[in-house]
Amino acid sequence: MNRKALAILMRTRMRPTDPNKLSMSPNRIQSSFESNLFGEHGTSSPKNFDSSSNPERGLKFVQEALHSAITLSKTDIIDEVLNDFSQGYFNLSYENRHELLLVLSREYDVSRVQLRELIQQYLSLDIPSIEVKKVMVEGEKAQSSDHDVQALLSAFYRTERNLRHALQPKYETLFERLNTHPGGLKFLTILRNDLLSMLQEENSAPLRALDSYLKEKLVTWLSPAALELHQITWDDPASLLEKIVAYEAVHPISNLIDLKRRLGVGRRCFGYLHPAIPGEPLIFIEVALLKDIAQTIQEVLWDSPPTPESQATCALFYSISSTQPGLAGINLGKFLIKRVVDLVKRDMPHVSVSTLHPLSVPDSTMFATLSPIPGYMQWLLAKLTSQRKLAEADTVDEPHSEETSSSTFSENILQPEEETEILGSSSGYTSGRNGMDVMWNLLTSTNYEWTSSPKLMSVLQPPLLRLCARYLLLEKKRGKALDAVANFHLQNGAMVERLNWMADRSEKGICQSGGIMVNYVYRLDKIEENAQSYLSEGRIQASCDLQRYVEKQQ
């Protein structure tokens, strides 16, 4: 794709009246990739295969190709078999893919009969511990005199080797061969994406085991040593820039000018590329070079003119996007952030701590984010809904004992002064029995009318910020932050620095978090310490201001 074609693509993307002609979404890119994955290597579609006209025959063909890809040892035909399997897989319906992966997970798993026999064989071997010790101590003399002990030791080693081999599922051969096959690594990410979708629909132990094994393989193959850090610029091929437009998941790129600004002066964009998936970053991060930590995404995206880079004192990470859904759960972002920090620090040593907000270590080098809080509003509305139901149950006239009263689980998540303000300012907009009723009605109103009323925004601001601090610092799942973005940055060693009111006024921002965004700060001298305390103890480091928010509600 040339740059003119990219410009046409971007203009098409901006036509709201023609939604079918928008820029290629990740799913559409994947579909396009599936149809051309192996064609670019000069191979053809599988012979005598047409899954659309005969789905059952198509599934059988792919199953046969799968079996051959795992069992054949002739290297001269492995590539052709892998092409048949991969192209055939893409031609299958979702239901038939499901059936095929079930076959793969069950019939090409560990051979438990063989494993049990080897375990029994291992347990039957008996070497007196004193004899083993004697062999280890006396060395060659003992080895020459204790041939029986040596034979038994050899049997142990041989059986242990066979056990290790037996514990490897047969589908490992398929994964290993695909990884070295042109286009195979990308294919495996698509296959895992299908697996993740299927696991959301059913709790299948064989599929879970298959996914877990494939994930372990991908973690190994996508280690930082195998990845190339690439700074993405306006001079890169249009095909790569198209991927940035399509996969930007946090703040959509609105037009060609927006894209050029994000790659221009005062901005950086870095991506991790893998040699087996050329021209397509697995993950990329966007950085703004600013004088201070930004409080709104508007000032980041529409900073004109941008801050002269020689005056920048803060590197702000404002968007990080993964391009491969099949790599979910593989934390490439952690390594990407660390590499980018090192690179920016090397190239721009004057980028250091911001003076916008006092920090406890004013002379430490600092990098920050302006991050969304995607789960906040969902959590808050669920909390309001449950508390409204409990309050309604408590008003029922039927007598009930103190032990069974729903008030045991009730809490008014609004402070008295907040409830008074909300009830007094909602006249003409909505009504309710209490402040939680009114707040729920306002937050779920059509088109978010409350954001157009300065009066309502002023009374909603204190409780929304306070409850957001509670959500980020106190609400946890399995001992870690409930919010996915918070968990990502905290496990990477960041601290929660500041909440920003109306930092993202887009519909997505209002829907996800009431427009609130958060600054996470990476202090280089504290990253490892913060990460370790969070991962081992679930401890969240936060600024004094945020700590004061939550101290009021504990």
Distance CA 349, CA 355 (A): 16
Q: Is 165 one of the annotated active-site residues of the chain?
A: no
Q: Residue 278: CB partners within 8 Å, gap ≥ 6? A: none
Query: Token pair 């070295």 is at which residue?
Result: 180
Residues in the chain: 554
Q: Is 406 one of the annotated active-site residues of the chain?
A: no
Query: What pLDDT, on a 0 to 100 scale, did the predictor assign at position 179?
Result: 96
Question: Phi, psi at residue 498, to the nearest 5°?
Answer: -160, 145
- Among the options 86, 426, 489, 513, which is catalytic? 489
In the beta sheet, which residues pair with residue 477?
480
Cα dihedral across residues 170, 174, 180, 184: positive or negative: negative
Q: pLDDT tens for the chain, 554 residues: list them.
A: 556 656 555 554 444 333 233 333 445 445 555 545 554 443 444 454 555 567 788 899 999 999 999 999 877 789 999 999 999 999 999 999 999 999 999 999 999 999 999 999 888 887 655 455 555 555 555 555 567 777 778 888 899 999 999 999 999 999 999 999 999 999 999 999 999 999 999 989 999 999 999 999 999 999 999 999 999 999 999 999 999 999 998 999 999 999 999 999 999 999 999 999 999 999 999 999 998 899 999 989 987 788 888 888 889 999 999 999 999 999 999 999 999 998 998 888 877 533 333 333 334 456 999 999 999 999 999 999 998 888 777 665 455 544 444 455 678 889 999 999 999 988 878 888 888 999 999 999 888 989 999 999 999 999 999 999 999 999 999 999 999 999 999 999 999 999 999 999 999 999 999 999 999 999 888 999 999 999 999 999 999 999 988 886 65
Name the residue among 318, 323, 354 with its Cα closest to residue 509.
318
User: What amino acid occupies position 348?
Assistant: M
Q: Give me the residue spans of the domains in the chain.
A: 19-26+48-109+169-222, 227-352+362-371, 376-393+413-552
Give the up-direction half-sphere exposure of residue 303: CA atoms within 13 A in the CB hemisphere: 23
Assigned CATH topology for domain 19-26+48-109+169-222: Butyryl-CoA Dehydrogenase, subunit A; domain 3 (1.20.140)
Q: Check if 19-26+48-109+169-222 and 376-393+413-552 are the same fold.
A: no
Residues 439 and 462 sit within 8 Å (Cβ to Cβ):
no
What is the pTM for the complete model shown?
Answer: 0.80
User: What amino acid occupies position 62?
Assistant: V
- Among the options 51, 371, 425, 543, which is catalytic? 371
Name the residue among 492, 473, 488, 487 with its Cα closest to residue 540.
473
Tell me how far CA of residue 125 lies from CA of 154, 159, 240, 341, in angstroms. 11, 10, 59, 55
Strand pairing report for 314-322 and 366-369: parallel
Question: Phi, psi at residue 412, to the nearest 5°?
Answer: -90, 105
Name the residue among 231, 450, 455 with its Cα closest to residue 340.
231
Domain 376-393+413-552 has CATH 3.40.630.150: yes
Query: What pLDDT, on a 0 to 100 scale, did the predictor assign at position 433?
Result: 84
Q: Please state, as a whole number, how many other Cβ atoms lie within 10 Å of the Cβ of residue 168.
A: 11
Q: Please state, as a whole number, how many other Cβ atoms lie within 10 Å of the Cβ of residue 215.
A: 18
Q: What is the CATH number that goes with domain 227-352+362-371?
A: 3.40.630.150
In angstroms, how far is CA 391 from the centroid of its own chain? Answer: 37
Query: What pLDDT, on a 0 to 100 scale, did the predictor assign at position 492?
Result: 93
